[in-house]
């Protein structure tokens, strides 16, 4: 069997290759891909060669929904024709590494690497739910920060993690505000998901507007960007004994140093997360289907698999403006 795959042959390089799949074993499933989604954070760091554990050449991605085409004799939890989420797979090209390996047209891999999905998802919901892991990071952050009704929350970054966390905070009855530096992104998310204010870091009246929004200070400062100068600036608007939630990538020890003295002065609780947990797998799709997370609105591009190179060129350069990128394999 052959499969089409996205491969990063080296840092800052991407291409489409054909991979050879092995014969399925008794514990394997064969999954045909319907939809994959690009993670604008993790996959960009892998493409840059900076994500911990990255090796080249590699197949990136962890957002994938497909259909089970065959099950090995020992597979009991899944069945042919079932909609599943997962990227477990292997191929015979031993030099090509799997950096979670979602962006493939077909896979052979252990059944334990897949989760059943609802069978009645509309095409739009299917695309939204493809982002379950990334939106799950938002869910995990809001859970870890123990966001409550009536709190003021400040989210650094209007990307998917930051904005979806703001949406979840609002669903809990909190009063969220998002800040970002990209004018196009601010305009896009403000129109896509109205009701959550998004302010520019370049606004000369930003300090005044933050104080007006949260006169007593923010209960939560949530970072999904990883820029220390911005964190330091906005920690000044935190309430005493508030929470600082760190959910970005912090690879460079020197460049990512934040002013801990300002955190200490305010007696803040610092919380972090890494990945998602079982509760996030359970809660996040439900949030997306109920409307607590409007991921459909955050998708900027829907492209067929024939335009994979174009999709990764957008990820690589950031142009044109993009946020959620969905790949339709059918």
Is 143 contained in some domain?
yes
- Statement to judge: residues 249 and 191 lie in one domain: yes
pLDDT of residue 274: 94
Per-residue 3-state assignment (H helix, E strand, C coil) for the chain: CEEEEEEECCCCCCEEEEEECCCCCCCEEEEEEEEEEECCCHHHHHHHCCCCCCCCCEECCCEEEEEEEEECCCCCCCCCCCEEEECCCCCCCCCCEECCCCCECEEEEEHHHEEECCCCCCHHHHHHHCCHHHHHHHHHHHHHHCCCCCCEEEEECCCHHHHHHHHHHHHCCCEEEEEECCHHHHHHHHHHCCCCCEEECCCCCHHHHHHHHCCCCEEEEEECCCCHHHHHHHHCCEEEEEEEEECCCCCCCCCCCCCHHHHHHCCCEEEECCCCCHHHHHHHHHHHHHCCCCCHHHEEEEEEHHHHHHHHHHHHHCCCCCCEEEEECC
- Statement to judge: residues 148 and 167 lie in one domain: yes
pLDDT of residue 46: 96
- Statement to judge: residues 108 and 208 lie in one domain: no
pLDDT of residue 251: 81
Q: Which two tokens stand for residue 181?
A: 């530096």
pLDDT of residue 254: 74
Is 282 contained in some domain?
no
What are the pLDDT tens digits along the chain (330 aa)? 999 999 999 999 999 999 999 999 999 999 999 999 999 989 999 999 999 899 999 999 999 999 999 999 999 999 999 999 999 999 999 999 999 999 999 999 999 999 999 988 999 999 999 999 999 999 999 999 999 999 999 999 999 999 999 999 999 999 999 999 999 999 999 999 999 999 999 999 999 999 999 999 999 999 999 999 999 999 999 999 999 999 999 887 777 889 999 999 999 999 999 999 999 999 999 999 999 999 999 999 999 999 999 999 999 999 999 999 999 998
> Cα–Cα distance between 66 and 83 in angstroms, integer?
6
pLDDT of residue 292: 97
Is 289 contained in some domain?
no
Is 290 contained in some domain?
no
- Statement to judge: residues 7 and 124 lie in one domain: yes
Q: Which domain holds residue 244?
A: 137-272
Is 38 contained in some domain?
yes
The domain total for the chain is 2
pLDDT of residue 255: 79
- Statement to judge: residues 184 and 158 lie in one domain: yes
pLDDT of residue 161: 98
- Statement to judge: residues 266 and 241 lie in one domain: yes
pLDDT of residue 219: 98
Instruction: Tell me the whole-structure pTM to 2 decimals.
Output: 0.96
């Amino acid at each position: 069997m052959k499969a089409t795959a996205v491969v990063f042959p080296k840092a800052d390089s991407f291409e489409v290759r054909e991979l050879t799949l092995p014969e399925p074993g008794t514990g394997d499933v064969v999954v045909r891909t319907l939809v994959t989604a690009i993670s604008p954070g993790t996959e960009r760091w892998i493409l840059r060669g900076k994500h911990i554990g990255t090796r080249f050449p590699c197949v990136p991605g962890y957002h994938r929904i497909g259909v089970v085409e065959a099950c090995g004799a020992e597979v009991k939890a899944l069945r042919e024709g079932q909609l599943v989420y997962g990227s477990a797979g292997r191929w015979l090209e031993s030099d090509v590494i799997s950096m979670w390996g979602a962006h493939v047209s077909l896979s052979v891999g252990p059944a334990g690497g897949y989760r059943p999905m609802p069978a009645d998802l509309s095409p739009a919901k299917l695309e939204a739910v493809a982002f379950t892991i990334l939106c799950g990071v938002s869910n995990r952050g809001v859970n870890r920060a123990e966001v409550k009704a009536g709190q003021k929350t400040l989210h650094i970054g209007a990307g998917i993690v930051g904005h979806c966390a703001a949406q979840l905070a609002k669903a809990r009855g909190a009063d969220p505000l998002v800040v970002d530096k990209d004018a196009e992104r601010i305009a896009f998310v403000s129109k896509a998901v109205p009701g959550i204010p998004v302010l520019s870091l370049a606004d000369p009246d930003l300090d005044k507007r933050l104080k007006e929004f949260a006169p007593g200070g923010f209960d939560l400062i949530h970072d999904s960007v990883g820029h220390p100068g911005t964190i330091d600036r906005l920690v000044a608007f935190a309430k005493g004994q508030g929470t600082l939630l760190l959910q970005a990538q912090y690879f460079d020890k020197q460049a990512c140093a934040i002013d801990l003295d300002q955190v200490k002065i305010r007696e803040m609780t610092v919380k972090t997360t890494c990945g998602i947990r079982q509760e996030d797998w359970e809660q996040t799709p439900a949030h997306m289907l109920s409307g607590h997370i409007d991921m459909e609105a955050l998708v900027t591009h829907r492209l067929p698999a024939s335009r994979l190179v174009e999709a990764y060129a957008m990820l690589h350069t950031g142009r044109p403006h993009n946020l959620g990128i969905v790949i339709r394999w059918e």
